[in-house]
Structure 1
Amino acid sequence: MPNLRCCSSSSLSLPAESYIYQLCAAGPASLAAISSDNSLRRFDRSSLALLPDGLVKETHAAGVSSLCAAGDGLLATCGKDGTVKLWDARRAGAVAVFQADKGMPLLSLACNASSHSIVAGTELVKPDAFVLFWDTRSPGKTCRQYVESHNDDVTEIQFHPSRPSVLLSGSTDGLVNIYDTTVPEEEDALVQVVKHSSIHHAGFMQDKAVYALSHDEMFSIHPVTSADEDDSHADEVKAVEFGDVRPVLKAEYVVQVLVDAAGSYVASGRTSDRSLSLTPLVHTPEFHFEQSNSWMLPGAHGEEVVRSVLFDSESRTVYTCGEDGHVRLWKEEPASSAELSSIRPTKQRKEKGYKPY
């Protein structure tokens, strides 16, 4: 199992005892992070240095909860104050604000520039949890709401990678839902429901599959079905119930699933021996872990939990952040001739619940 080495580490000038929650690409030369001090920080991909004018100190009145790229150099954040905000590195302050009805706290967020869409998931606001839609061309109140599809916190929102009208939501109610957003009525727009357990992360794996990862590290993969005429991909993927993946991965917690053109990987860690690993998921013909090609990140973030991992396949660079309040940059060991492409699929101080926030 090849090792990556930590080439650079930065606190991004955060206050002591801060967590870094999430990383996001912010342009060809920069990344962004949100943290427990309620800030948004842009920094250089190579040096990890905080950029001039790269700090937004107070993003949301009640705390920031999610971050994503919004296209055209914009970043989007959502927060417990019931707002989504767009940020432009070229301008001070938020360039647009989108408001949830009654200030419902927002937990999860996705943007699609091609359809001018922002979608966010709310906390449970009894008796309902909401999936809220905005049109970026009309800042302000929502243009659509799904109010019946979940009955607990909506912890994940994601657009399909190639079909911007297809949307996924996941919730602590144990459901992963897939919608055709071209259909006006919520009941008819819901085209697939995957039953799992309390969703920590869920998402699409290219065009063919959807994964579900629970807060207790139960993991499963399912074929994507839809109302589209062409459902040929559903026959290519068989559902796999992995159960608790910690014993298989020899891990204490799972950070997330990484998906890009190079393949799919599960990032998992151990605080007891200060380690992080990236294990490829291979589809030949059923999905399974290719542990012999795992990449190890020794030292990880010390005895603290890793919160987010970002993989740049072009530069063969891995970025991590965690509860130690640092961002780290990882590359191949100089003595290793292996390349990150070797892990591509042949086709294609805290409580140990490790909840996101």
Structure 2
Amino acid sequence: MAPKQLASSTLGSPSNTYFFTLAKAGQHFATIGSDDSLRFFDLPTVEITNEVKGAHSGLACLTAGADATTFVSAGRDGRVRVWDPRTAIKSPNLELIEPKSAGISAVACAGNFIAAGTESTKEGLGDVSVLIYDMRSPAQPIRSYAESHTDTITQLAWHPTQSNLLLSGSTDGLVSIFDANIPEEEDALMQVLNPRSAVHCAGFLTDDQVYTLSTDEQFSVYGLDKTGTTEEEPLPAHQFGDLREKLDCMYVINVAQQSFLPNPVVAFGHNVNQTLSLVPLQDPNWSIGSRVDLPGAHGEEVVRDILFVDAATTLTCGEDGHVRYWSLSPSDTAQQDESLAAPGLKKAKRNAKKGIERFAPY
């Protein structure tokens, strides 16, 4: 029995609205749309429970807060806002301001800290920054790294176990690894990776491996530099090349990583075939596992995001203006779990910079 769609909704959005990001905080779910609204909804009905119209001017980012109870949004208005879905949500709980009023294009949360990346609005080399805010003293960012990228920041991610390490990816084709304990950017920049094309998404696959996916669907896995110097750029541990050829797809959405998934999952779509598909990446060589197709997907429109609710169900949103809730059939789930957690392939933590203290700027 194939995966099936359990529910779908436009969440009361106007026609021609599309949704481009999903997030989960506790038992609450949210999405952001091209109409600058932040919408909250329930499962399994996908019914809207609350809406913040005009959450930002140019709403661009949404993620769950590190406390797993709040949502963090950001926009081209140069604001980062924290929302608590357990309240009436008439206004944000907290607002952070980009000092130069630059638009914000990426956010990531860890502990009391929010990282924000800015966008470039001019042709050629731009003036962009990676900023770090402490929510306990939010008036100004406590870190500003403004020399490492020259174009819009598209991705930020904190290391899963070493919370002082921050990854940034940019349309300038570079991925940077910072030690956020260090104020001076020249010293804080630990490693630079060069996928040689604009970065669509990037993140930590393991404690000592980073993946990059470019806007032309080139996928690579790099080892983190063990010496902590930017001069020793490591060769990619594995280069997949163009995933469109390997996966028979038109575009790659993202790489899903959640605690209940044994392995990372690549999500990709095909507009002509009207499918959304999922494959696990199996360590140690990151081979591609069994494929699961969600037929119909979002029709001929692009799927913009996917969020696993648990190992058996997932949410998607897209440019058709719908949020859709899917069930992976028991047989497919079992097959996927088997391929994700093949015997002997569970990875050990592999000595990525041991003993570095947690981020403590004071």
TM-score (norm 1): 0.88
Distance 1:339 1:10, change over 3 A: farther
Give the C-alpha shift of residue 340 in structure 1: 4.2
Q: SS of the residue aligned with 1:183?
A: coil
Name which of structure 1's ranges 121-130 and 73-82 shifts more when overlaid on structure 2.
121-130
Paired residue total: 332
Q: In the aligned structure 2, how far is the partner of 1:14 from the partner of 1:343?
A: 38
List aligned pairs for 1:214-233, cutoff 5 A: 214-225=214-225
Distance 1:95 1:226, change over 3 A: farther
Q: Is the 8 A contact 2:213 2:219 kept in 1?
A: yes
Q: Which residue in the other structure is 2:301 paired with? A: 304
Question: C-alpha offsets along residues 319-355 of structure 1, whole Å, 9 cap, x if unaligned?
Answer: 111000111111133676835423414223xxxxxxx
Q: In the aligned structure 2, how far is the partner of 1:330 from the partner of 1:343?
A: 20
Q: Is the 8 A contact 2:9 2:322 kept in 1?
A: yes
Q: Is the 8 A contact 1:219 1:241 kept in 2?
A: yes
List aligned pairs for 1:1-357, cutoff 5 A: 3-27=2-26, 29-51=27-49, 54-61=50-57, 63-72=58-67, 73-89=69-85, 90=87, 91-112=89-110, 114=111, 116-124=112-120, 127-196=126-195, 197-225=197-225, 239-261=237-259, 262-283=262-283, 285-290=284-289, 293-314=290-311, 316-333=312-329, 338=334, 340-346=336-342, 347-348=345-346
Q: Is the 8 A contact 1:22 1:321 kept in 2?
A: yes
The amino acid that maps onto 2:99 is: D
More strand by share: 1
Q: In the aligned structure 1, how far is the partner of 2:48 from the partner of 2:310?
A: 23
Give the C-alpha shift of residue 43 in structure 1: 0.8
Q: In the aligned structure 2, how far is the partner of 1:333 from the partner of 1:142?
A: 46
Give the unaligned 5+ runs of structure 2. 229-233, 347-362
Q: In the aligned structure 2, how far is the partner of 1:38 from the partner of 1:343?
A: 39
Question: C-alpha offsets along residues 283-317 of structure 1, whole Å, 9 cap, x if unaligned?
Answer: 2x322212xx1111000000000000011335x11
Q: In the aligned structure 2, how far is the partner of 1:127 from the partner of 1:5?
A: 45
Q: Is the 8 A contact 1:294 1:343 kept in 2?
A: no
Q: In the aligned structure 2, how far is the partner of 1:340 from the partner of 1:50?
A: 31
Q: Is the 8 A contact 1:117 1:133 kept in 2?
A: yes
Give the C-alpha shift of residue 194 in structure 1: 0.9
Q: SS of the residue aligned with 1:260?
A: coil
Q: SS of the residue aligned with 1:71?
A: coil
Q: Is the 8 A contact 1:155 1:170 kept in 2?
A: yes
Distance 1:204 1:92, change over 3 A: same
Q: Is the 8 A contact 2:292 2:332 kept in 1?
A: no
The amino acid that maps onto 1:302 is: G
Give the C-alpha shift of residue 183 in structure 1: 1.7
The amino acid that maps onto 1:153 is: T
The amino acid that maps onto 1:342 is: E
Give the C-alpha shift of residue 227 in structure 1: 5.6
Q: Is the 8 A contact 2:5 2:327 kept in 1?
A: yes
Give the C-alpha shift of residue 5 in structure 1: 0.9
Question: C-alpha offsets along residues 216-240 of structure 1, whole Å, 9 cap, x if unaligned?
Answer: 1111111123567xxxxxx9x9611
Q: In the aligned structure 2, how far is the partner of 1:225 from the partner of 1:4?
A: 41
Name which of structure 1's ranges 327-336 and 252-261 shifts more when overlaid on structure 2.
327-336
The amino acid that maps onto 1:79 is: G
Question: C-alpha offsets along residues 54-97 of structure 1, whole Å, 9 cap, x if unaligned?
Answer: 21111112x11011111341111010001101111214211111
The amino acid that maps onto 1:175 is: L
Q: SS of the residue aligned with 1:342?
A: helix
The amino acid that maps onto 1:123 is: E
Give the unaligned 5+ runs of structure 1. 229-234, 349-357
Q: Is the 8 A contact 1:82 1:103 kept in 2?
A: yes
The amino acid that maps onto 2:162 is: R
Q: Is the 8 A contact 2:211 2:221 kept in 1?
A: yes
Q: Is the 8 A contact 1:200 1:213 kept in 2?
A: yes
Question: C-alpha offsets along residues 90-111 of structure 1, whole Å, 9 cap, x if unaligned?
Answer: 1421111111122101100101
The amino acid that maps onto 1:295 is: V
Q: In the aligned structure 2, how far is the partner of 1:188 from the partner of 1:214?
A: 27
Distance 1:336 1:163, change over 3 A: closer
Moved over 3 A (4+): 333-340
Q: Is the 8 A contact 1:180 1:227 kept in 2?
A: no
Give the C-alpha shift of residue 26 in structure 1: 2.2
